[in-house]
Structure 1
Amino acid sequence: MSLPCGKDFRPPWPLTSGHIQTMLSSSGVRRLLLPRTARAVQEGAEPVMVDGGGGVRLTGAFTAQKVRPQPRGLAVLFHGWEGSVDSTYVLQTGSRLLADGWDVFRLNFRDHGDSHDLNEALFHSCRLDEVVHALGEIAARWPARPLALAGFSLGGNFALRVALHTSRVGIPLSYALAVCPIIDPTEGLFSLEESAPWFYQAYFMHKWRHSLLAKQKAFPQHRYFEMSELKQDLRGLTESLVRRHTDFNSLQQYLDGYSVAGDALRAMQIPATILTARDDPVIPVGAFEQLRLPPNVELDIAEYGGHCGFIRGRDMTSFTDDYIAARFNAVADGTQGR
């Protein structure tokens, strides 16, 4: 049986608009309209604290499947920037995989999902080591195999970078899938500023400022930013973050630190898939088209879908649920690539 591909996603009007797809993807309206089955992964979920190494603590949630005598494997899910384990797209995908017999672990990055009080240092996108370390602990604590990983947006970027490191550190990751990942952070940041409609930057900046204020409240003895800095635009506040809270010498060096553009993924040792949409208004498709990938990394560019949307219709469910489940199941059943 062939696997679903991006070209198979043909939504009805007006869901052919990348902007509508993107705006609906994280909207409260979508959450209200979703069927109850899309939240099944929350039922019986076990809150978990995970060791990120060096005293870092990350939070997450583990849900054991109940439809098979033995789990099909362990699926780990990464949310996007300022998302959480309870983001709509994470719940939908997790619930779909749970129904197919996967145990599911949803991981919060540092300072996401109300975890601001756990670690004094701020989150930034180059904190890869703690995520790799956390995945290693997750793999050890829940030994169901295969171990498969999926991430969305910034979480997709993390998933690809984690997958590059797992063989080096002995984590038995079998497969990674990234939905609309950030490829070239420089291009993504500039597109939000220069070409994307103003409300995308406003949305992300509102969520980021709220997160930073929550961090300040959790550690009142530590001044993370001046109020004048919090009023800056995306580029200005990111530059302040780099200057105050990283060891990078410049904004560009920081952005390069989590880029997977060009031939950065040529060293990938495991099978991986990148799914994006040509009409994504947040992550420009050009960065994907310029990737130089090894044969084991699949690039799938759909015509429609927006940024992490791929919403099929009035029920607000996503094509990505079946897309991810089909590929994970193929890994578990040994039919991947057939």
Structure 2
Amino acid sequence: MTLPQGRDFQPPWPLTSGHIQTMLSSSGVRRTMLPRSAYRVLEGAQEVMVDGGEGIRLTGSFTPQKKQQVSRGLAVLFHGWEGSVDSTYVLQTGSRLLDDGWDIFRLNFRDHGESHDLNESLFHSCRIDEVVHALGDIAQRWPARVMALAGFSLGGNFALRAAMQAPVKGIPLQYALAVCPIIDPSEGLFSLEESAPWFYQAYFMNKWRRSLRIKQKAFPHVQYFELQELKQNLRGLTESLVLRHTDFGSLEAYLDGYSVAGRALAQMQIPATILTARDDPVIPVTAFEKLELPSSIELDIATYGGHCGFIRGWDMTSFCDEYIAARFNAIAEGQFPRA
């Protein structure tokens, strides 16, 4: 079975620019220009609460397929940092998989979407246990012949870590795919500060500060940050988060806590794919080139695509939809190539 590869993505100029790809990926312009079919996953979607363990509640959205008599399986989608179940890339991918006969579950991480008031403690990137617990709850409540997972950016990082734990936790996950995942958080943080254009850090910081203001309003009796701390840059505010709200003790220990760099994925027991782009201005490609991966993990580095873009043309649709759907369908049909 021939699957699409990153090298197949050859967009027209000026979409050969990683910056244009990245800026368009989550832009309002793209959301407006996408065809209606990109939002089909919203039709008949059921808003649900899932169990994150230890009293933690996470929100999500389940959409059953209606294309065929028997579902291909359950596709679970993870958004990126400060995204949500309604992020454009999540909706578009979910809609494509729905058309292919998959049931779709889109999960919100803690403090994402409209969920800030559900859990008093703040979200941070090392909260993998609650995401894995939620994945187990999803698998039990919506049992399927096949369960596959895809995540984007930070969601891709979560997807890889969840896939590492799934067999041990008895979660029947059979495949994971990560698009432009954060590999080495310390490198990613340095990249946003030192080599990426200033507006990327400004974009993420504006979204994060807005989220923290919503959180503060939801729990007025808790002082999450001092006003001066909120005015810090990405590194400074992240360090304040670590020292105030985690047990890591240092920024470096926290960043190591969710790193999947080096040999961190060497014991992966299920097949997985990592798709990234050489021109991604947010996650340095060198982090991917340094990975030491088992034969069960496919690493695919495209020339173009930016950060979670892979936009094919002016209809704003994404090559990722075809890429993810082809691999999910191959897993469902037992035709995914194995080393």
Residue 288 of structure 1 corresponds to 288
Q: Which residue of 1 aligns with 2:126?
A: 126
Q: How does 1:267-278 map to 2 (within 5 A)?
A: 267-278=267-278
Measured after TM superposition, the shift of residue 114 of structure 1 is 1.1
Q: Deviations over 1:13-67 (max 9, x none)?
A: 0000000000000000000000000000001000000000000000000000000
Q: Deviations over 1:86-107 (max 9, x none)?
A: 0000000000000000000000
The answer for the alignment partner of 2:46 in structure 1 is 46
| Deviation digits for residues 185-237 of structure 1 (CA, Å, limit 9, x no counterpart) | 00000000000000000000000000000000000000000111000000000
Q: Number of paired residues? A: 338
Q: Counterparts of 2:314 and 2:169 in 1: how far apart (Å)?
A: 44
In 2, the alpha carbon distance for the partners of 1:244 and 1:82 equals 20
Q: Which residue of 1 aligns with 2:190?
A: 190
What does residue 245 of structure 2 align with?
245
Tell me the C-alpha RMSD between the 2 structures: 0.5
1: CA distance, partners of 2:103 / 2:142: 9
Provide the rounded CA distance (Å) in 2 between the counterparts of 1:29 and 1:242: 35
Alignment pair present for 1:112 and 2:112: yes
Residue 227 of structure 1: aligned partner = 227
1:312 alignment partner, SS class: coil
Deviations along 1:133-167, whole A, 9 cap, x unmatched?
00000000001121000000000000000000001
1:139 aligns with 2:139: yes
Question: Tell me, what secondary structure is at the counterpart of 2:174?
Answer: strand
Aligned to 2:255: 255
Provide the secondary structure at the position in 2 that maps to 1:162. helix
Equivalent residue runs for 1:1-338 within 5 Å: 1-337=1-337
d(CA) in 2 for partners of 1:271 and 1:246? 32
Partners of 2:313 and 2:189 lie apart in 1 by 30
What is the rounded CA distance, in whole Å, between the counterparts of 2:329 and 2:48 in structure 1?
25
Specify every segment of 5 or more residues in structure 1 that has no aligned partner in the other structure, as ranges: none
The CA distance in 1 between the partners of 2:252 and 2:145, in whole Å, is 39
Secondary structure at 2:139 match in 1: helix
Cα offset for 1:249? 1.1
Task: Give unmatched runs, 5+ long, in structure 2.
Answer: none
Distance in 2, matches of 1:319 and 1:280, equals 15
Per the TM alignment, residue 293 of structure 1 is displaced from its structure 2 partner at its CA by: 0.3
Name the % identity: 79
Specify the SS of the correspondent of 2:228.
helix
One-letter code of the match for 1:292? E
Q: Distance in 1 between matches of 2:191 and 2:6?
A: 23
The amino acid that maps onto 2:89 is Y
Separation of aligned partners in 1, 2:171 and 2:144: 13
Which stretches of structure 1, 4 residues or longer, exceed 2 Å deviation after superposition?
A: none
